[in-house]
Amino acid sequence: MSLRLRLLAASLLLLLCGLTAAGFVSYTSLSSFLRSRTDSQLHSAVSNVRRVIAQLPAGTTITTQQLGAAAPGVWVQLRESDGTTATEVQGYGWLAEPLTPALPAGLPALYGDTYLGPIAVITVPASEDHDVEFRTIVATTGAGQTLIVGASLQESARTLRRLVMVEIFAGGLILVTAALAGAWLVRLGLRPLARMEAAAETIAEENLAERLPGDDRRTEVGRFARVLNTMLARLEAAFAERKASEESLRRSEERLRRFVADASHELRTPIAAVRAHAELYRRRGDRAGDAAPVMARIEQESTRLTRLVDDLLLLARLDERRPMADEAVDLGALAADAVEAARVLDPDRRVDLTVTGLVETRGDRDQLRQVFDNLLANVRVHTPAGSPATVTVSAVETEAIIEIADRGEGLDDAERARVFERFFRADPSRTRESGGAGLGLSIVAAIVTAHGGTMDVSSRPGGGTVFAARLPLLIDPPQD
């Protein structure tokens, strides 16, 4: 059974119980009232008859007319002391078939001491119709006679039956009206649940951004919707986090596969070269003139292979976040040493250095020196010969900023987005001898990140590229 039907059935059941209780109370109250009224009528009749008898002259008996006038509308019987009937008045002469109470063979014993004297109050059926009852009072007169008065309960029974019929009809009408009104009210009250159901179906289709309507704190449905919306928000965040984690894992796997493939490709070339030259030396080693160039080539490829392996090992250590040296490093001094080395390696290129004040950070001196060397090597390899470069070391608030700018062709948006990826080369046509393996800028970004900094690249007006590294600035504590 649906919730709507259960609510409607429960409310109608409660209403039916209330109507039944109200009908029972009204029926009982009316029955008690009618019986009390009948008893009052009988007591009045007994009192009147006794008064009339008391006022008669001695030796005179009461007539039927006097008895009927003293107790109108009731059945009256006067018995002598020996039990014989002295006189009797039907009291219901207007009926086609007058009713008479079926008195027991022996009258009940009188009891009590009311203002009428000892009496007995009994209820007996009618002699002519056993469905009709008589309310009867038995009392004594001052002359030693027995007075019996009775009133028919037929009208009272009819009144009670009419009351029952009215209650049944009115109760049925009330129940039907309540059922119709209740169905409408329940439907109106459950309308928010219907809207929540429709919204839940939409959410079930993995549209977790949808929310249940009607989150009014003043209603039970609203509070329920609010709790569910809170749960949905947490589920959405959890699913988004899981999706982001899966996407990150997928990208990591793709980078790992690409890294392994690129590393294998880069390692295979020098290894193949070493193997080829070793094979050539084995075949032609007896010729003294051919040995030196072959061995020189093997040494060159071995050096290149060693450099590539060292770069890969450095990246692996940086990825694992292994502990590194932690000392104060003067970035201005490091920049001066790196610029001097760059001028020696490329004397035809102008490299300007600008250091603003004392700029220090904490970290590994050798790794930070490699940042300068790799960026300057990138300038030598990827910019035209003789084009100038600028190295700037400065401090802004809590950051130490290293900028190396060149006058090369610059990078487009796609290249800037991937320039720090491992094994990425902006110009794939370059040879490995001139362009390297594409790990220099990756190492720079990894070192800067390991030192708590960030690495950016941008193009400047007039051409060229600016690499900027931002590191935490070492600030001396104030002296007391």
| 3-28 pLDDT per residue, tens | 778 888 888 899 999 999 999 999 99
- One-letter-per-residue 3-state SS of the chain: CCHHHHHHHHHHHHHHHHHHHHHHHHHHHHHHHHHHHHHHHHHHHHHHHHHHHHHCCCCCCCCHHHHHHHCCCCEEEEECCCCCEEEEECCCCCCCCCCCECCCCCCCCCEEEECCEEEEEEEEEECCCCCCEEEEEEEECCCCCEEEEEEECHHHHHHHHHHHHHHHHHHHHHHHHHHHHHHHHHHHHCHHHHHHHHHHHHHHCCCCCCCCCCCCCCCHHHHHHHHHHHHHHHHHHHHHHHHHHHHHHHHHHHHHHHHHHHHHHHHHHHHHHHHHHHHHHHHHCCCHHHHHHHHHHHHHHHHHHHHHHHHHHHHHHHHCCCCCCCEEEEHHHHHHHHHHHHHHHCCCCCEEEEECCCCEEEECHHHHHHHHHHHHHHHHHHCCCCCCEEEEEEEECCEEEEEEEECCCCCCHHHHHHCCCCCCCCCCCCCHHHHCCCCHHHHHHHHHHHCCCEEEEEECCCCCEEEEEEEECCCCCCCC
Instruction: Read off the pLDDT of each residue in 215-222 and give the average, rounded to a whole number.
Output: 67
Q: How many CA atoms lie within 13 A of 2 on its CB side?
A: 9
Residue range 210-322 in CATH 1.10.287.130: yes
DSSP-assigned beta bridge partners for residue 137: 121, 149
Among 301-305, 332-336, 475-479, the range of highest mean pLDDT? 332-336
Where do the structural domains in the chain lie, given as residue ranges? 3-55+62-160, 210-322, 323-472
Q: What is the mean pLDDT of the chain?
A: 80
User: With 80 as the cut, is the pLDDT of residue 247 above it?
Assistant: yes
Distance of alpha carbon 415 from alpha carbon 427, whole angstroms? 10
pLDDT band at residue 277 under the 50/70/90 scheme: low
Predicted local confidence at residue 432, as pLDDT: 46
Chain-centroid distance of CA 257 in Å reads 41
pLDDT band at residue 451 under the 50/70/90 scheme: confident
User: With 70 as the cut, is the pLDDT of residue 476 above it?
Assistant: no
Distance of alpha carbon 480 from alpha carbon 474, whole angstroms? 18
Q: Convert the pLDDT of each residue in 341-352 to its tens digit.
A: 888 888 888 999
Residue 102: phi and psi, rounded to 5, are: -90, 90
Predicted local confidence at residue 286, as pLDDT: 54
Residues 455 and 467: beta-carbon distance below 8 Å? yes
Write down the CATH number for the domain with range 323-472: 3.30.565.10
Predicted local confidence at residue 72, as pLDDT: 86
335-344 LR contacts (CB < 8 Å, sep 24+): 335/372, 335/391, 335/393, 335/402, 337/369, 337/372, 338/369, 338/372, 338/373, 338/376, 338/391, 339/372, 339/376, 339/391, 341/373, 341/376, 342/373, 342/376, 342/377, 342/379, 342/380, 342/389
Predicted local confidence at residue 43, as pLDDT: 92
Among left, alpha and beta (phi > 0; psi -120 to 50; other), residue 91 is left
Residues 375 and 444: beta-carbon distance below 8 Å? yes
Instruction: Read off the pLDDT of each residue in 238-244 and give the average, rounded to a whole number.
Output: 82
Least trusted range by pLDDT, from 147-151, 328-332, 416-420: 416-420
Residues 214 and 221: beta-carbon distance below 8 Å? yes
Residues 430 and 266: beta-carbon distance below 8 Å? no
Distance of alpha carbon 34 from alpha carbon 3, whole angstroms? 46
Residues 74 and 100: beta-carbon distance below 8 Å? no
User: With 60 as the cut, is the pLDDT of residue 428 above it?
Assistant: no
Distance of alpha carbon 105 from alpha carbon 298, whole angstroms? 147
Q: Convert the pLDDT of each residue in 41-54 to its tens digit.
A: 999 999 998 888 88
Q: Quick one: what percent of the chain has pLDDT higher than 90?
A: 17
pLDDT band at residue 429 under the 50/70/90 scheme: very low
